[in-house]
Amino acid sequence: MQTATVTVEVPVRKPPVPRNGVDTPAVVETIFGVVAKQPELAKFQFRASNQWMTGTHSRTTMKGFSGAGGEHAHLAEFTADGDHPAVLCGADQGPTPVEWVLHALATCLTAGIANIASVRGVTLHRVESRVEGDIDLQGIFGLSKTVRNGYQNVRISFEIEGDAPPEKLREIVEQSRARSAVYDIITNGIPVAVSVAA
Amino acid sequence: MQTATVTVEVPVRKPPVPRNGVDTPAVVETIFGVVAKQPELAKFQFRASNQWMTGTHSRTTMKGFSGAGGEHAHLAEFTADGDHPAVLCGADQGPTPVEWVLHALATCLTAGIANIASVRGVTLHRVESRVEGDIDLQGIFGLSKTVRNGYQNVRISFEIEGDAPPEKLREIVEQSRARSAVYDIITNGIPVAVSVAA
């Protein structure tokens, strides 16, 4: 058989290097080196404990979680408060529960942006976002049978700067959206079971 | 026409009094005295601003919101962090975004329990809850086309003690669920628009 040597150009992904404060090699190894081969390691359970303080004020503690085949604990025990504002007769000892949803969305998308940019070799200079949610309280007040309890619309707008063309930066945000846990939760809904020991 | 005086017993709801740290008369007046007559006052917009710190760590600020026909500000500017834990290659500078969803749910249901118990004349002694969410990270890692990104299931279990029979306490929790903004958001889903300025 005759053979010939030919030269072809194939795209080579840059090897992952730490970037944007992300340990990119560790992220790539975790996903493709470890979890891809042992999918059961991908099963996580996150937990929170909440205690009523007084009025509409309560406090949540977040510490332990399971995943990657074992139990884990955060470096610190995190606590956070929730309350209703004065205009809704609360003591305003913390953000409202619906503001916490906006926080969850923003932190999820932003973490994804940092990881994805790092894997794609893009150095970020700035990522900021603003989230707004419109809600008609006739729902939770029980004053309407047609108005829903939750937000009617949420908008999140990003400003992003980095060493890449705008189109590539927009693609990073879009990929983060497409792989965001919180975006999925709040756009598609999840089953929630409520139980009571009284 | 002949008339006769008869005595009948009709249920009389107790007049609202402050209870459980809730200004019950103000809650009742806000809902039924004010908003029921001017439904446009029920339109609120909540907001959050998020800034990427480094890696998967970002920080959210929550201060201003609109509603009841005007602009409002929390008594304090609230900030909160989000990050990924060490086992997911993050710096663990805050709870994960998906734990914040659990926090939002618990604070919403608990605030509702306090308000509803107060309106129903029930004094609460203790309300605690534990929330768990199961997630398979094959979704966000892009390792599966069938595993979703978000939680597959969330469970919240309440322990509640108060001056009422267990059945009445359970009804209060159920009414809170039925009127919870965050429960609606995460079980039914809401439209979220993502925009980018790059």
Chain A residue numbers touching B191 (CB-CB < 8 A): 152-154, 187
The H helix count followed by the E strand count for chain A is 4, 6
CB contact under 8 A, B154 and A75: no
User: Can you name the residues that pair with A160 across neighbouring β-strands?
Assistant: A127
What is the pLDDT at residue B60? 99
Mean pLDDT of B182-187: 98
User: Can you name the residues that pair with A71 across neighbouring β-strands?
Assistant: A66
Give the residue carrying structure tokens 């600020």. B61
Which amino acid is present at B125? H
Which amino acid is present at A194? V
Cα distance from B33 to chain A (closest Cα, Å)?
A: 12
Which amino acid is present at B150? G
User: What gap in Å lies between CA A181 and CA B57, rounded to an integer?
Assistant: 16
CB contact under 8 A, B150 and A107: no
Chain B residue numbers touching A26 (CB-CB < 8 A): 89
CB contact under 8 A, A137 and B44: yes
Strands (E), B32-182: 43-54, 57-67, 70-82, 124-136, 153-162
Q: State the alpha helices, DSSP H only, in A33-157.
A: 97-119
Chain B residue numbers touching A30 (CB-CB < 8 A): 88-89
Cα distance from A165 to chain B (closest Cα, Å)?
A: 8
Please give the order of strands across the beta sheet that includes B57-67. Answer: B70-82, B57-67, B43-54, A124-136, A153-162, B192-197
CB contact under 8 A, B131 and A48: yes
Phi (first) and psi of residue A89, to 5 degrees:
70, 15
Instruction: Tell me which of B99, B145, B174 to substitute to probe the interface with A (most A C-beta atoms closer than 10 Å).
Output: B99
SS3 content of chain A, % helix, strand, coil (to 5): 30, 35, 35
Which of A42, A141, A52 shows the shortest CA–CA distance to B136? A42
User: What gap in Å lies between CA A134 and CA A152, rounded to an integer?
Assistant: 6
Query: Digits of tens for pLDDT over chain A (198 positions)?
Result: 677 887 777 666 668 999 999 999 999 999 999 999 999 999 999 999 999 999 999 999 999 999 999 999 999 999 999 999 999 999 999 999 999 999 999 999 999 999 999 999 999 999 999 999 999 999 999 999 999 999 999 999 999 999 999 999 999 999 999 999 999 999 999 999 999 998
Contact A150, B179 (CB under 8 A): no
Residue-averaged pLDDT of chain B: 96
Residue B2 predicted with pLDDT over 80: no
Give the residue carrying structure tokens 């809904």. A189
Q: What is the DSSP string of A103-137?
A: HHHHHHHHHHHHHHHHHTT--EEEEEEEEEEEEET
What is the pLDDT at residue A95? 98
DSSP A22: B
pTM for this model (two decimals): 0.94
State whether residue B16 sits within 8 Å of chain A by CB: no
Three-state secondary structure call for residue A147: coil
Closest chain A residue to B128, measured at CA: A51
- Burial tier of A104 (Cβ tally within 10 Å: 0-12, 13-18, 19+): buried
User: What gap in Å lies between CA B100 and CA B45, rounded to an integer?
Assistant: 20
A44: CB partners within 8 A, 6+ apart? A65, A66, A67, A68, B134, B135, B136, B137
DSSP B146: S
Confidence class for position B9, pLDDT limits 50, 70, 90: confident
Contact B15, B23 (CB under 8 A): no
Closest chain B residue to A155, measured at CA: B193
CB contact under 8 A, A74 and B95: yes
B contact residues 22-81, partner A, Cβ 8 Å cutoff = 22-23, 26-27, 30-31, 35-36, 39, 42-58, 60, 62, 65, 67-68, 72, 74-76, 78, 80-81
- Burial tier of B31 (Cβ tally within 10 Å: 0-12, 13-18, 19+): buried
What is the pLDDT at residue B11? 62
For B115-137, what is each residue's pLDDT tens digit? Answer: 999 999 999 999 999 999 999 99
User: Can you name the residues that pair with B78 across neighbouring β-strands?
Assistant: B62
User: What gap in Å lies between CA B155 and CA B139, rounded to an integer?
Assistant: 20
Cα distance from A24 to chain B (closest Cα, Å)?
A: 9
Encoding tokens for residue A47?
């937990």
CB contact under 8 A, A90 and B72: no
